[in-house]
Structure 1
Amino acid sequence: MRKLYSLLLMLFFVIAAHAQIQEPVKFKTELKTLSETEAEIVFNATVDKGWHVYSTDLGSDGPVSATFNVDKKEGVELIGKLTPRGNVVSKYDPMFEMTLRFFEDKASFVQKIKFTAPTYKIEGYLEYGACNDENCLPPTQVPFDYSGKTSLKAAVADAKTNDVESQDTDGTEATTGQGVTEVATTPASEQPVVSADILWEPVIEDLQSFGEEHAQQKDKSWLYIFITGFLGGLIALFTPCVWPIIPMTVSFFLKRTKDKKKGIRDAWTYGASIVVIYVILGLAITAIFGASALNALSTNAVFNILFCLMLIVFAASFFGAFELTLPSKWSNAVDSKAEATSGLLSIFLMAFTLSLVSFSCTGPIIGFLLVQVSTSGSVVAPAIGMLGFAIALALPFTLFAMFPSWLKSMPKSGGWMNVIKVTLGFLELAFALKFLSVADLAYGWRILDRETFLALWIVIFALLGFYLLGKIKFPHDDDDNKVGVGRFFMALASLSFALYMVPGLWGAPLKAVSAFSPPMNTQDFNLYTNEVHPKFKDYDLGMEYARQHHKPVLVDFTGFGCVNCRKMELAVWTDSKVSNIINDDYVLISLYVDDKTPLSAPVKVVENGKERTLRTIGDKWSYLQRVKFGANAQPFYVLLDNEGKPLNKSYAFNESVPDYIAFLKTGLENYKKEK
């Protein structure tokens, strides 16, 4: 019985030591021979429910993409890039302002290789990122090592299989090659650490004695894309190319037949034809370019520059510099065909004529809409956006046909429609800077830092306000100097928004535009004093500074691509009480687990009896988080004394300011008790 109790007690401590280590992803690797000269390295993973593994090529502004990395290569050449296979999910992420592609339940990546010599050897690792709704794993590596002999006549791959499920010396399973690596259960004195200092010793049991924190995150549905398209269609209605056509078209349907019901049915058919035409357009965009290519638009610098130029051209057209029109022979041909036919085909061709004639006004709106929704990477996303756009565009034709008396109350076309066009031109010019900003950050040009971006937006929205007040005229504006009530309030909103952004030139957070403007770290001149910045980005240096100044430490395990980390910094750290406690009472050390800066020399460590190589600064801090705290997800906050011991439970993603203040104050109280 005593042995049973002892065994249960040991099991309890082992479980406690691993309580915070999450292992949601388990990878296996395999070398598959395709021919005498080619083979594939296949990475297959099982993913726990609620977790997802990110796909390849998500861009520098997104989370950690899956990448194929080679350390040693002899007699082998790579063919193409790492390719995802299987059911890839595409979903818009509001924090990254982009559509992310990821796997759920199962993930598969393949790298094709070519043999170039009788013998071969290839060694390296797959690196990937994984998240759930609460937190993310640090960049995780899946090592592989294959060697063997080949023949030009018969490729013989005698490569050793990379077995991801091995056994440690004490009989428990160690998970090398998986998404997450276990922390060894050996005593602290035997733990392999980067630094021999006591500050790196594990404190998992101490941390577990305080408890742990959890939180959740909200999601967004496809309804967002539909609403975006619907709003675009409503805007297009009030342009000079569409609004004047509505009464003429409805009157035509009602007068072409004595049967009122048939006239209403024809108007319904006309509206349905508009919907079909634009939905087909949305599907055609994806069919031509492909869903994966469209997804690249959101992060690829070259495409973002093209989008920027496209929106500038559209804006110039709306300002009256030129008209974007399709060849007139197209619309004339369709129109003559509509007159020569009858029935449903005639009505459909009339709707198609409307689409061609109104292109100069609807084209820029449709172009901007497709730029936004196509980046979801889904075949149906552009179609959903176009469905919303077409329904809004077709709605008045149907409603006015059903209720012809409403036509008398329609506002007459006039200069107000041109005001809408010019206003759209200003807005497209502003959004063009957003796309240019993405390219600027990707290439590191630093030509569009935060204050430069805000200065341009301030000028654009101030000019829009002056235009709405009648102080600026464009070539196709009329000479009427009267400003209506609606136009006045639009000018008031635009000028107020411009003034709201002015403090941002000196570092104000400007939460309303944080989703569009470049990050705060690109700001060269910053007078905002309520911000929280880490004193150190190196653990050992920060701990030594805290010891000399007799202050507790707040260690922030974060990442450049960590969505919830940015949310915490924006929603919690900007609170004056929180910022005062962190800046005055703690030494803040922020450790970026996805920092790709190479170490001065690779560091060999051993976890669970398996040798690992730390190649980057991010690898080093991720290793620290695992071996010392038994955790591997971000954001992750821990409070430490000057000997590296925890002062309170860890804190994960939770945007409650009172909870975070309580977390910090409890740590301070425990630190004072120790002293």
Structure 2
Amino acid sequence: MKQLIFGIFILLLSFVGRSQSDENPVIWSHEVNKISDTEFELIIKGDIHEGWHVYSQFTDEGGALPSEFKFFEVDKDYALVGDTKESATVKEFSDIFEVEETFFKEEAIFTQRIKLLNPEIKQVKVNLFYQVCKEVCIPADIDFVFSLDGSKAVTETLALDEKSKMLTANLKLDLKNKALLSQGQENIGSGSNLWVIFALGFLGGLIALLTPCVFPMIPLTVSFFTKHSEKKSKGIANALLYGFFIVLIYFLLSLPFHLFDSVDSQILNTIATNVWLNLAFFAIFIFFAFSFFGYYELTLPSSWANKMDAASSKIGGALGIFFMAVTLAIVSFSCTGPILGGLLGGTTLAEGDVATNLSAGMTGFGVALAFPFALFALFPAWLNSLPKSGGWMTTVKVVLGFLEIALALKFLSNADLVGHWGILKREVFIGIWILIGILITLYLFGVFKFPHDSPKGKLSIGRKAVGVVSAAFSLYLILGLTGISNLKLLSGFPPPEFYSVFEKESDCPLGIDCFKDFETGLAYAKEQEKPILLDFTGWACVNCRKMEENVWSEPDVYQILKNDYVLISLYVDDRKELPEAEQFTFQYDSGRTKRIGNIAQKWGTFQDVNFNAVSQPFYVLLSPDLEVLNTAIQNTDADTYRTWLQEGLRNYEGKGFSSNP
């Protein structure tokens, strides 16, 4: 099971590490050898930078991703003769995946022979998906166009067809008064969100302290420092240093996410909304939950802890204390791992930079975990007031297991929303949460127990109190599900209200008429002579749901949106494929190209290119002739949002635009 966890972590690094910088780790070229009038040899060559390697087509399953080829119009215009051949490869055992991997170093050459079925064709298009790795792995793909008529072969990324040129131009707006737009982005992505994530990480660390893997270590460790030091002050200093190293270790765990200074502008959205990544999170959280229920132990290799412990004893001093802190992190992993997994998953749902969010959360977690070691070293007499270890810690783990399942559903919901599967509608999601709340209540009141629970005894006041809270929360969900009350406290976590098992008149937020295509919405705005509210949103965007359910639902805000603006909602995480006629290769001003094949790629690129922003929600006010009417805005309160909308209306009318309220 540990290989699964490490494998997912490496995949996460690959998503975060994907770079669109000018220095590509692999420089690709290709050529054609004519064998006869009907047979050709297609050759693709990659020059791999020093230290990097590209995986073979035939690397063992269970490891890194193999190279894969897609031949367009195969068996229609031409047939493949044999398999795609490779140049020399290297085999090496992976300690992480525990499989033998096959890869190229310095150079990769692929050769494929083809036989024409249609003698009229002049070009063959091939797509290569590959993974290039160093400290992290970067998945990428590239299209090649082989010319069979003797002309120089070029990659599609360097030669745009007329359709791509036209659609590239269409995606770029000629905005007027664009300087006003940039003024509104000064406070976007401010540091306030980091303090929230730090606080959540701190809360996670406090919860981890109550688990049986950590709690018994507090008096043992503090006593070791205070009793095995020549001076009391020395013991306190060592304990404080121990606490500092705990914080440092958990901060260091987030550093791999900072390896690349330049990433694809859409990578954060990709992480948060990728269907398979969300399904992986769902599976991991379910796996974590059952470890908390006591069905198995989630541990790192015991040899790691033994080596760290031996190093701390042998080295001594500050470095020895550091290894003691590493030992604590390893031996407590069975309890802290699932909580850290929740923190890692939670950062993908939060607004802002994933790596920075994760560093803030991991630092908060480490501070909470280190706090009691420093506190009780300063005041060792307080150790006597600590509750004794016992069955209550098992109860904490079980409750955490139920909470892990509840959080896992959020990631399954993200995949369901982005994939448009329709299997986890709002009522189903809330219904499962109600069931989880009821099960927690029944467990806490002793109706049932798990394999590692202590024999039934008298229920503590704390256990009863948490049981009452759980029952109250379940009742709150039931009232919200039946429509008796709203669920504003949970805005953003359940699916949106229009994603319902019951047929809705509109699939737009709050039933407001909206357009999901910019050109269509723009044409309607011109016809109605109304300003545009451009809403960059996402199916799996938590903050978007919070704005819609807490701010847009305010009566006066709702009336403005419904009556005075044309709402254009562009979903930047919608993986639905575009019709073939609308798929194209977009070219940036720098010359770099990007394939636009689905809705997410289209509107994500549209937002990035025109508004220099990639986060959601992101709101822009435009006139029908593309005049920017106000600063851009993101998460805010109802009063600020109302004022912002009203200012946009005044600017629209003040510039001489007509209006049909």
Which range moved further: 291-300 or 537-546? Answer: 537-546
Contact 2:498 2:504 in 1 (8 A): no
Contact 2:184 2:632 in 1 (8 A): yes
2:339 corresponds in structure 1 to: 365
Whether 2:151 is the aligned partner of 1:119: answer yes
Give the AA of the match of 2:338. Answer: P
Structure number, greater radius of gyration = 1
Whether 2:507 is the aligned partner of 1:531: answer no
Aligned match of 1:575 in 554, 557, 580? 554
Q: Secondary structure at the match of 2:467?
A: helix
Identity of aligned residues (%): 37
**Structure 1 442/666 Cα, relative in aligned 2: closer, same or farther at 3 Å?**
closer
Q: Secondary structure at the match of 1:119?
A: coil
Whether 2:215 is the aligned partner of 1:239: answer no
Q: CA deviation at 1:281?
A: 3.8
Q: CA deviation at 1:473?
A: 3.0
1:428 corresponds in structure 2 to: 404
Aligned match of 1:449 in 411, 421, 425? 425
- Mapping of residues 85-484 of structure 1, within 5 Å: 113=144, 115-117=146-148, 118-119=150-151, 144-145=160-161, 177=169, 180-182=172-174, 218-221=188-191, 222-283=194-255, 297-328=271-302, 330-332=304-306, 334-335=308-309, 338-339=312-313, 342-373=316-347, 382-475=358-451, 476-484=453-461
CA displacement, residues 474-515 of structure 1 (integer Å, 9 cap, x when unaligned)? 33145233331x444433433333233334435776332232
Aligned match of 1:516 in 481, 485, 493? 493
Q: Secondary structure at the match of 1:522?
A: coil
**Structure 1 471/287 Cα, relative in aligned 2: closer, same or farther at 3 Å?**
farther
Give the AA of the match of 1:256. Answer: H
CA displacement, residues 267-297 of structure 1 (integer Å, 9 cap, x when unaligned)? 2333334344434444468779x98899654
Contact 2:446 2:456 in 1 (8 A): no
Query: CA separation in 1, counterparts of 2:357 and 2:570?
Result: 34
1:61 corresponds in structure 2 to: none
Query: CA separation in 1, counterparts of 2:300 and 2:518?
Result: 62
**Structure 1 509/542 Cα, relative in aligned 2: closer, same or farther at 3 Å?**
farther
1:193 corresponds in structure 2 to: none
What is the TM-score with the length of structure 2 in the denominator? 0.57
Q: CA deviation at 1:470?
A: 4.1
Give the AA of the match of 1:402. Answer: L
Q: CA deviation at 1:319?
A: 1.9
Contact 1:535 1:589 in 2 (8 A): yes
Contact 2:406 2:433 in 1 (8 A): yes
Q: Of the two structures, which has the highest relative contact order with CA contacts closer than 8 Å and spacing of 6 or more?
A: 1
Contact 2:216 2:389 in 1 (8 A): yes
CA displacement, residues 556-615 of structure 1 (integer Å, 9 cap, x when unaligned)? 5545549898676445542335556877x7897757598988689889xxxxxxxxxxx9
Query: CA separation in 2, counterparts of 1:285 and 1:505?
Result: 39
Unaligned runs of 5+ in 2: 1-26, 32-42, 46-71, 73-120, 132-139, 584-595, 634-639
Give the AA of the match of 2:555. Answer: S
Contact 1:325 1:360 in 2 (8 A): yes
Query: CA separation in 2, counterparts of 1:382 and 1:498?
Result: 31
Q: CA deviation at 1:456?
A: 1.0
Q: CA deviation at 1:431?
A: 0.7
Query: CA separation in 2, counterparts of 1:502 and 1:393?
Result: 36
Contact 1:469 1:487 in 2 (8 A): yes
Q: CA deviation at 1:180?
A: 3.3
| Number of residue pairs the alignment of both structures matches | 499
Q: Secondary structure at the match of 1:448?
A: coil
Query: CA separation in 1, counterparts of 2:463 and 2:231?
Result: 42
CA RMSD of superposed structures (Å): 6.0
Query: CA separation in 2, counterparts of 1:378 and 1:439?
Result: 19
1:496 corresponds in structure 2 to: 472
Q: Secondary structure at the match of 1:531?
A: helix
**Structure 1 441/282 Cα, relative in aligned 2: closer, same or farther at 3 Å?**
same
Contact 2:533 2:565 in 1 (8 A): no
Give the AA of the match of 2:189. Answer: D
Contact 1:557 1:593 in 2 (8 A): no
Give the AA of the match of 2:388. Answer: K
- Mapping of residues 627-642 of structure 1, within 5 Å: 635=619
Give the AA of the match of 1:574. Answer: S
Contact 1:597 1:617 in 2 (8 A): yes
Q: Secondary structure at the match of 1:463?
A: helix
Query: CA separation in 2, counterparts of 1:228 and 1:602?
Result: 43
**Structure 1 426/286 Cα, relative in aligned 2: closer, same or farther at 3 Å?**
farther
Contact 1:297 1:303 in 2 (8 A): yes
Q: CA deviation at 1:432?
A: 0.5
CA displacement, residues 429-488 of structure 1 (integer Å, 9 cap, x when unaligned)? 11111111122223322111111111111221232234334444333145233331x444
Query: CA separation in 2, counterparts of 1:390 and 1:239?
Result: 15
**Structure 1 520/275 Cα, relative in aligned 2: closer, same or farther at 3 Å?**
same
**Structure 1 407/464 Cα, relative in aligned 2: closer, same or farther at 3 Å?**
same
Contact 1:225 1:381 in 2 (8 A): yes
Q: CA deviation at 1:523?
A: 1.1
Give the AA of the match of 1:119. Answer: S
Give the AA of the match of 1:464. Answer: I
Query: CA separation in 2, counterparts of 1:275 and 1:666?
Result: 51
Query: CA separation in 2, counterparts of 1:593 and 1:269?
Result: 48
Contact 1:121 1:146 in 2 (8 A): no
Contact 1:269 1:347 in 2 (8 A): yes
Q: CA deviation at 1:238?
A: 1.5
Query: CA separation in 2, counterparts of 1:511 and 1:461?
Result: 18
Contact 1:294 1:374 in 2 (8 A): no
Contact 2:444 2:463 in 1 (8 A): yes
Query: CA separation in 2, counterparts of 1:661 and 1:374?
Result: 33
Unaligned runs of 5+ in 1: 1-32, 41-69, 84-108, 127-142, 148-161, 165-174, 184-203, 604-614
CA displacement, residues 364-394 of structure 1 (integer Å, 9 cap, x when unaligned)? 2223223344787766765554333223222
Q: CA deviation at 1:402?
A: 2.1
Query: CA separation in 2, counterparts of 1:499 and 1:250?
Result: 43
**Structure 1 332/74 Cα, relative in aligned 2: closer, same or farther at 3 Å?**
same
Contact 1:532 1:573 in 2 (8 A): no
